[in-house]
């Protein structure tokens, strides 16, 4: 059971659920419907877990060639490929049923789009072009939309602002990971940007550009009456620190500085979400 749980990537799933919860928080009108929230979170967790499992099933040969992934359950032989495929499909079906029957049709369709774009576009593109990172950012930014429609039943500008924040955040985060493990990706034939252009110049420029763009976009909630002015200060500080780590990597392209960007990104997302919630005026 531990190996099957590992297939679902629980550390990533909790980040997805955090983003779904933020979407629900800003989508709700009136008292929180705890049962509806439960269905939304469980359904999202199931489709996220199923997607992670099927992604590992598809990439099992590539994973076996990378030192950071060769001990995953399938390449390590702890779970058979057929069993992983069946497990992932069952999770996806269960998640879609949970969203469709327990939440609403739009939320279920958004979940299906997320799964399809991730597994049918992003995953196979990784071994063909570095543009896969751009394609993968879109399903990666869907959780706030799923949470928002679960609560509201339709999408508004507020939902798209949350989508835009996490969409832009992903680029520095994943490019930093790609830079740190570029040799591993090269061995597996995965054409991440640092593999295609090994000097890291393009990668560092992308990281810097998206970290810079994230700053003004992260201020949008205050101008759409989602938050007060305290959030503006928090977003500027967090965005400035994130941008500082990106600028440092741009000046000196080292694995240590790439790890600095990764650490900054991991800190940024929960803290910006916390600032959104605390200054939303919805808590009290």
Q: Which ranges of the chain would DSSP assign to H, the alpha helix?
A: 2-7, 10-27, 34-58, 60-64, 81-102, 105-116, 123-125, 132-140, 143-152, 157-180, 182-188, 193-196, 201-223, 229-251, 255-278
Closest CA to 57 of 133, 4, 12: 4
Q: Which CATH architecture has domain 1-154?
A: Orthogonal Bundle (1.10)
User: With 90 as the cut, is the pLDDT of residue 218 above it?
Assistant: yes
Contact 126, 88 (CB under 8 A): no
* Domain ranges within the chain, ordered by starting residue: 1-154, 156-284
How much is the mean pLDDT over the chain? 94
190-212, pLDDT tens digit by residue? 899 988 888 888 999 999 999 99
What pLDDT sits at residue 30? 83
CA angle (159 as vertex; 42, 164 as ends), nearest 5: 105
Average confidence (pLDDT) over 93-116:
97
The pTM (predicted TM-score) of the whole model is 0.93
Quickly state the pLDDT bin for 284 (edges 50, 70, 90): low
- Predicted confidence (pLDDT) per residue in 50-84, tens digit: 999 999 999 999 989 988 889 999 999 999 999 99
């Amino acid at each position: 059971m531990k190996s099957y749980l590992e297939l679902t990537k629980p550390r990533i799933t909790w980040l997805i659920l955090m983003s779904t919860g933020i979407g629900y928080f800003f989508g709700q009108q009136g008292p929180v419907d705890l049962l509806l929230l439960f269905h939304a979170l469980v359904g999202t967790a199931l489709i996220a877990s199923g997607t992670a499992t099927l992604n590992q099933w598809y990439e099992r040969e590539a994973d076996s060639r990378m030192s950071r992934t060769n001990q995953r359950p399938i390449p390590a032989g702890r779970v058979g490929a057929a069993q992983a495929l069946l497990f992932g499909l069952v999770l996806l079906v269960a998640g879609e049923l949970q969203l469709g029957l327990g939440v609403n049709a739009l939320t279920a369709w958004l979940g299906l789009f997320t799964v399809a774009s991730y597994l049918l576009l992003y995953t196979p593109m990784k071994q063909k072009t570095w543009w896969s990172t751009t394609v993968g950012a879109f399903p990666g930014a869907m959780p706030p939309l799923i949470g928002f429609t679960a609560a509201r039943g339709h999408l508004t500008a507020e939902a798209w602002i949350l989508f835009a924040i996490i969409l832009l955040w992903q680029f520095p985060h994943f490019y930093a990971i790609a830079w740190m493990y570029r040799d591993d990706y090269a061995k597996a034939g995965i054409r991440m940007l640092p593999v295609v252009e090994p000097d890291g110049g393009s990668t560092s420029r992308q990281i810097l550009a998206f970290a810079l763009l994230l700053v003004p976009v992260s201020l949008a909630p205050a101008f759409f009456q989602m938050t007060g002015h305290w959030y503006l200060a928090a977003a500027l500080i967090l965005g400035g620190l994130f941008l500082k780590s990106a600028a440092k990597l741009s000046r000196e392209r080292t694995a240590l500085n790439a790890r600095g960007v990764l650490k900054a990104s991991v800190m940024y997302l929960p803290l910006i979400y916390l600032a959104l919630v605390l200054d939303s005026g919805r808590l009290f």
